[in-house]
């Protein structure tokens, strides 16, 4: 039954995505806020489909730590879901993504219009400089920056190193960094067309204030995210067995 529900969800997911992509094309020449609205509606629809087809619900914890306006949010990355959900739970996010995504027709146009922060992974120092310039613009526009410090989706229970980009943002922008832990990989695994029923938990943790030494910051960020993520994954597994 779970496989049938998953198939039904992904059929509806792709159909909904096509509908939304086409529906907002006429708004591309106008104010970018129209496309931001479209991204939010699209995400709401995905959450609705997950809940009603897969019996997979979303729980947000630590909302008191959810930043408003200019901020840096560093999120664990286990599934495709967290690349979407921030359009719903934050206002006008600037998501750091790989530059190749801008070449995807329609989707890439929307990313450009909403000023997502595109990074050339092969660009090294020049790429880092470009990322910081785009991030500074986002902060000046009072937008939260969303970064996945591992740089890619991590397999469940695998500890990937954090990339230096998050440390550069923390040092250069002098903004608090809000760590985010989650257990999404339990329910929507990476590179998988399979969704388990249950509750995906995304938890915002207390922010790390600016001013720490670079190495100390990286250690503190990784410890907070990984320890809480391990706890959330264990909690989710216990519910599977109960």
* 211-242 pLDDT tens trace: 999 999 999 999 999 999 999 999 988 876 55
Q: At what angle do helices 214-241 and 165-173 cross, to 10 degrees?
A: 120
HSE at residue 181, side-chain half, CA atoms within 13 A, is 21
Sheet containing strand 177-182, strands side by side: 56-61, 198-204, 177-182, 71-75, 144-147, 94-98, 117-119
Q: Where do the domains of the chain lie?
A: 56-241
Per CATH, which fold does 56-241 belong to?
A: Glycerol-3-phosphate (1)-acyltransferase (3.40.1130)
C-alpha of 146 from chain center: 6
pTM of the shown model: 0.94
Average pLDDT score over the chain: 93
Rama region for 142: left / alpha / beta (φ>0; ψ in -120 to 50; rest): left
3-state secondary structure of 199: strand
| Residue 123 confidence (pLDDT) above 70 | no
Q: Give the pLDDT mean for 198-217.
A: 96
């Amino acid at each position: 039954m779970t496989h049938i529900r998953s198939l039904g969800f992904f059929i509806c997911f792709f159909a909904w995505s096509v509908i939304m992509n086409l529906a907002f094309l006429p708004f591309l020449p106008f104010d970018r806020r129209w496309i931001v609205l479209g991204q939010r509606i699209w995400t709401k629809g995905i959450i609705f489909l997950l809940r009603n087809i897969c019996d997979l619900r979303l729980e947000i914890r630590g909302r008191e730590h959810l930043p408003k306006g200019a901020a840096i949010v560093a999120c664990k990355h286990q599934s495709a879901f967290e690349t979407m959900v921030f359009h719903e739970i934050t206002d006008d996010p600037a998501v750091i993504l790989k530059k190749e995504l801008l070449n995807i027709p329609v989707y890439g146009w929307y990313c450009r219009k909403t000023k997502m922060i595109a990074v050339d992974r092969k660009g090294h120092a020049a790429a880092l400089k470009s990322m910081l310039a785009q991030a500074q613009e986002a902060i000046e526009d009072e937008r939260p920056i969303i970064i996945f410090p591992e740089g890619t989706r991590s397999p469940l229970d695998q500890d990937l190193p954090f990339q230096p980009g998050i440390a550069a943002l923390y040092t250069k922008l002098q903004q608090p960094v809000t760590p985010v832990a989650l257990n999404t990989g339990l329910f929507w695994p990476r590179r998988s067309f399979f969704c388990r029923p249950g509750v995906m938990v995304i938890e915002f943790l207390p922010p790390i204030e600016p001013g720490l030494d670079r190495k100390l910051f990286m250690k503190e960020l990784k410890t907070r995210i990984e320890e809480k993520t391990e706890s959330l994954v264990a909690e989710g597994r216990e519910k599977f067995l109960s």
